[in-house]
Structure 1
């Protein structure tokens, strides 16, 4: 059971990384937007409503079933901010987490919008052959 709890924690870390970088990855592979947009909306909804992430709930339940201690709070606080000395409950930490989550996504989606507005060159015509 403990191995399963650890696997869920690794999955959770992957989901967090994808949440942070998904729009930037979509610059190379636009099909990833079909996965990133729903993930981002769910994470945003959980954050705005103060709800617990289902992956955290699942991890903690597996740890409890294995007889291992759980932890208070959420995944980000337990594994990232608290060990770095930034208590997740502090307003400055909350603002920092929000900025770190939003900035790469704004950059990625902004670049995707700019790219979509750029005129496309016809694949059979290059500047050298169109003369």
Structure 2
């Protein structure tokens, strides 16, 4: 039971990671200091997708799943939980571009808001 709990926690952390990567830039609209952690998370996610870096959460979840009597994730977290469930299996590239576009919009919005705030401070 303990290993299964570890695997479930790793899965939940994976989902939290993906949600933060996709939408965390919007948090920087209100709290600019959060831009820098988001940049790090987004860069790591980009490395996982483009370079093939391993995700420690996938390693942890696989380890715990095997120890609890199950098997490792087939193809990794995204392939196992999202592909074919959240978006069709033949739309992986589209899903990646949508995610990148959401991140880009969040960063562009943050930049615009920061510039407006800076302009208001200079006027005051």
TM-score (norm 1): 0.81
- Tell me the equivalent position of 2:31: 29
CA RMSD of aligned residues (A): 1.9
Task: Trace 1:6-25 onto structure 2 (pairs within 5 A).
Answer: 6-25=8-27
Give how far 1:122 is off: 6.2
Cα-to-partner distance string for 1:59-114 (whole Å, 9 max, x where unaligned): 01110011123331121221112235622xx4xx2222212211221111101111
> Whose radius of gyration is greater, 1 or 2?
1
Contact 2:25 2:107 in 1 (8 A): yes
Equivalent of 1:109 in 88, 107, 116: 107
Return 5+ residue gaps in structure 1 as ranges. Answer: 126-131
* TM-score, length-scaled by structure 2: 0.85
Deviation at 1:33, TM superposition (A): 1.4
Aligned partner of 1:73 in structure 2 is 75
Count of residues in Structure 1 that have an aligned counterpart in Structure 2: 120
Determine if contact 1:2/1:63 at 8 Å carries over to the other structure: yes
Aligned to 1:120: 120
Structure with higher helix content: 2
Q: 1:100 aligns with which of 98, 102, 105?
A: 98
**Structure 2 residue ranges without an equivalent (≥5):** none
